[in-house]
Amino acid sequence: MKDSLKLSIVILVFLFFVSCKMHQITRADGSTYKTFLAKDGYKSSNKTNLSIEEFNPEDINHLYKEIDSMIIQKITVEDIKTQFIDFDYILLSEWYASCSSSGYAAYYQFKQLVDTISHVQKNSTRKVAFVLTSVSYHYSDILRLLKKYNYKYQIYIISHEQYGEYIFTKQTKFNIELCPELYSKYKDDISSLNCILLNSKGECIKVFEAKYNKEKHRNEIINFDQNRDYILNLVNHK
């Protein structure tokens, strides 16, 4: 029994490393380290009712009645830069559903921003598009977090066809294409930026940096209240 358990563990570890590859990370301070890259799971079976379709600009800010009926849409930087012309701003958050430590900033605080902005912009001529986009195809984790935070707006996923199948490099490529000027400052730490505000052309206006709270074991947007008020001032500006 013990031998079979050990063999199972060895097989699982072997399969994990087979599915990963080594990659050198360059931090914002210039330091480097090597790490294994995990695949984004696009080949994994979907045991949820979530489905995936191509990007549709008519569904921007679409509010679903039921989370189980939500449709995930693939999104590219070209979509962001060309398909949001009816909006003044784009609030973008990139989330990795299988990483619990990034969740507070990427999901909970982002939803706080969305709830506040959606209420305020009802009486404003300026509109903000909400783009919550997953970096992986882990459907069960995506559904679990959507239900946990009761997020019902249209959600997106960074397409593996255009940006590759490894989560970290896919997200990094996406962000470099989206805001190349940010990469010169953040290097590969650009993947840890939880929230970015863009104009209708997809140009970066403001980055909401997050910091890891060791006591609470989670990433938190720095100066959250000030950043929230910054967006509200833009929405309310006449």
Query: Is 196 in contact with 68 (CB distance < 8 Å)?
Result: no
Q: How far is C-alpha 112 from the geometric centre of its chain's CA atoms?
A: 15
> pLDDT tens for residues 61-72?
999 999 998 999
Amino acid sitting at position 79: D
The CATH number, out of the four listed (3.30.1490.190, 3.55.40.20, 3.40.30.10, 3.40.1170.60), of the domain defined by the range 40-236 = 3.40.30.10
**Domain extent listing, the chain:** 1-37, 40-236
Whole-model pTM?
0.86
1: pLDDT strictly greater than 60? no
Among the residue ranges 20-34, 103-117, 210-224, the one predicted with the least confidence is 20-34
> pLDDT tens for residues 80-130?
999 999 999 999 998 887 776 556 677 788 999 999 999 999 999 999 999
- Residue 201 neighbours by CB under 8 Å, 6+ apart: 81
